């Protein structure tokens, strides 16, 4: 029962006062308890009532979390581009009172310069005190406080969260705190566009991808399994499959594969030109290495492509992974032939180093091929 007062609506309880005869008070006490008992068979959803069960049966029912509820920090990435908002600016690492944030700044492999992205981002959840300073200080709105509170585990080491485990999509964050994201969205996305422009290659891409991308990958793997012959022709299986819209990672892999192919192509003519200026023995060795590297690349490529032929979609995923690994290996190999090319062109003394590099590349490629076969 509510009553309007000067200060607003007030809940008034009926105390059933009045003149009591002998034993009547005891009966009234029983009546109160009875009312509660009888009322408890339905749920109390309105807290101005005093009867009904208040219990929220926790694992099955949960109270909705307030938007600003904070538990543990997570890293956001953009759903569209797959790019992380984090630039590795170290602001959070600096402010963290228990010092549980550890960041490694990304570097451009070619130029060696800093890139606005983090290659590794570790938060030790076991020591985190959920103060939310990191989220408050983050200038790129990359670090946000999650609402997940069921983190109990028997394994303490599992609470050291790496970047892949910390990644959450922006759509996830808008799901738990739409109002808070709406406030910062414009600025955050603008800053992200700036960061993306300065990120070469796959740097800054979220390692764990959204459901959408996973689904796309499965689809692609299924397509690859359906057309093994077509996949076997071209080197990396995944990019060769008919892909209407490629994910950033796949795009990067395709690019790497193409680069590797170009490098192979480039490396092959180079030794042919080499004999003109160099000693025949060294030139021969360099040529051999280049051919080996090319073979290895070729060998690596068909292996994952053939794998999915007889396998279930789950295995197809593994084969897909192998194909990506092979492509990465090819990318590594790419660096070597390039150096061979430059070495051949410049000085004969460097030719030996070039040969070594070529052999290393070949080994790496072989290793990748083996891995591909094993997986």
Partner 1 sequence: MQDVVNQVINTSFGWGWPSWAIALIGYLIVAALLFGIAPFQMLFLTLYERRAIARMQDRIGPNRVGPEGMFQPLADGVKIFTKEDIVPTAADQWVHFIAPCVVVAPTMFMFAVLPWGPGMVPVDMNLGLLFFFAISSVSAVGLMMAGWASSNKFALVGAMRAVAQMVSYEIPAVLSLLAIVLVTGSLSIVELINYQGGLFISTRDVASVPDWGLGWFIFSPVGFLAFIAFFIAALAEGERTPFDIPEADSEIVAGYMTEYSGMKFGLFYLAQYVLNFLLCAITSIIFFGGWQGPGVGWLYAQAITPVNPQGGWVFNVLAGVLGVFYFLTKTYGFFFVMVWIRGAYARLRIDQLMDFGWKFLIPLTLVNIFSAAIWVGLTKWGAADGLAFVEGWSPLVRWAAAFGVTLALNLGAYLFLARIFAQSQDERARQDDDVLEQLTNVA
Smallest distance from partner 1 to CB 71, Å: 25
In angstroms, what is the minimal distance from the CB of 315 to partner 1? 41
Q: Determine which residue in the list 10, 16, 48, 54 makes contact with partner 1, applying CB under 8 A.
A: 54
Q: Measured from the CB atom, is 34 or 90 closer to partner 1? A: 34
Q: Tell whether residue 68 is a contact of partner 1 (CB under 8 A).
A: no
3-class DSSP assignment, residue 199: coil
Q: Quote the radius of gyration of the chain (alpha carbons, Å).
A: 32
Q: Show the site string, 1-40: x = touches partner 1 by CB under 8 A, - = not.
A: ---------------------xx--x--xx-xxx-xx-xx
Query: CB of residue 61 vs partner 1: minimum separation in angstroms?
Result: 11
Q: How far is the CB of 81 from partner 1 (least distance, A)?
A: 46
Cβ distance to partner 1 smaller for residue 52 or 228? 52
Helix (H) or strand (E) holding 319: helix 313-346
Query: Least distance (Å) from partner 1 to the CB of residue 56?
Result: 10
- Look up residue 249 and give its two tokens: 């990672």
Query: Residue 313 and residue 346: Cα distance in Å, rounded?
Result: 49
Query: Binding segment for partner 1 among 50-58, 133-141, 247-255, 298-306 (CB under 8 A)?
Result: 50-58
Residue list 73-112, contact with partner 1 (CB under 8 A)? none
Q: Report the C-alpha gap between 19 and 25 in whole angstroms.
A: 9
The site map against partner 1 for 258-277 (x = CB under 8 A) is: --------------------
Angstrom distance (rounded) from CA 274 to CA 346: 10
Q: Which is nearer to partner 1, 41 or 154 (CB)?
A: 41
What letter would DSSP give residue 310? G
Collect all residues with Cβ–Cβ distance below 8 Å to 95 and sequence separation of at least 6.
133, 134, 137
Please, what is the Cα angle at 144 between 143 and 150, to 5 degrees?
120
Smallest gap from Cβ 9 to partner 1, in A, equals: 22
C-beta of residue 237 within 8 angstroms of C-beta of residue 305: yes
Cβ closer to partner 1: 4 or 61? 61
Q: Which listed range, 47-55, 126-134, 178-186, 340-348, lies at the site for partner 1 (CB under 8 A)?
A: 47-55
Residues paired with 105 in a beta bridge: 118
Nearest partner of 301 among 254, 249, 335, judged by Cα = 254
Q: Supply the angle between the helices 248-267 and 313-346 in degrees, to the nearest 10.
A: 40
- Binding of residue 62 to partner 1 (CB under 8 A): no
Phi, psi of 68 (to 5 degrees): -85, 5
Q: Is 57 in the site for partner 1 (CB under 8 A)?
A: yes
The pair of structure tokens assigned to 44 is 């109390």
Which CB atom, from 41 or from 66, has the smaller least distance to partner 1?
41
Q: 143-145 and 73-77 as β-strands: parallel, antiparallel, unpaired?
A: antiparallel
CB of 39 to partner 1, least distance (A): 8
Count, residues near partner 1 per rule CB under 8 A: 20
Q: Which residues bind partner 1 (CB under 8 A)?
A: 22-23, 26, 29-30, 32-34, 36-37, 39-41, 44, 51-55, 57
């Amino acid at each position: 029962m509510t009553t309007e007062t000067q200060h607003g609506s007030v809940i008034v309880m009926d105390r059933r006062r009045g003149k009591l005869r002998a034993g009547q008070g005891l009966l009234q006490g029983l009546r109160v308890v009875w009312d509660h008992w009888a009322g408890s068979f339905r749920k109390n959803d309105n807290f101005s009532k005093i009867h009904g069960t208040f219990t929220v049966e926790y694992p099955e029912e949960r109270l909705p979390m307030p938007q600003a509820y904070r538990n543990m920090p997570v890293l956001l990435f953009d759903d569209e581009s797959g790019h992380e908002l984090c630039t590795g600016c170290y602001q959070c690492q600096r402010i963290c009172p228990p010092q549980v944030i550890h960041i490694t700044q990304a570097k451009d492999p070619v130029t060696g310069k800093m890139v606005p992205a983090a290659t590794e981002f570790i938060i030790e959840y076991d020591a985190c005190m959920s103060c939310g300073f990191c989220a408050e200080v983050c200038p790129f709105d990359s670090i946000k406080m999650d609402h997940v509170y069921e983190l109990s585990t028997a394994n303490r080491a599992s609470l050291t969260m790496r970047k892949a485990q910390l990644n959450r999509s922006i759509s996830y964050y808008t799901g738990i705190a739409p109002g808070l994201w709406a406030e910062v969205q414009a600025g955050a996305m603008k800053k992200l566009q700036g960061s993306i422009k300065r990120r070469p290659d796959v740097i800054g891409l979220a390692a764990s991808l959204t459901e959408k991308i996973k689904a796309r990958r499965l689809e692609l793997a299924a397509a690859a399994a359906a057309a093994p012959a077509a996949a076997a022709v071209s080197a990396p299986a995944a990019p060769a499959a008919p892909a209407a819209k490629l994910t950033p990672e796949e795009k990067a892999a395709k690019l790497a594969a193409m680069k590797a192919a170009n490098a192979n192509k480039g490396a092959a003519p180079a030794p042919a030109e080499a004999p003109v200026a160099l000693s025949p023995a060294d030139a021969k060795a360099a040529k051999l290495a280049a051919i080996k590297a090319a073979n290895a690349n070729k060998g690596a490529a068909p292996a994952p492509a053939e794998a999915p032929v007889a396998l279930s979609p789950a295995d197809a995923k593994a084969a897909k992974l192998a194909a990506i690994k092979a492509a990465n290996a090819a990318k590594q190999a790419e660096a070597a032939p390039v150096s061979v090319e430059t070495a051949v062109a410049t000085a004969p003394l460097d030719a030996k180093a070039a040969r070594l590099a070529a052999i290393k590349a070949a080994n790496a490629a072989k290793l990748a091929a083996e891995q591909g076969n094993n997986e």
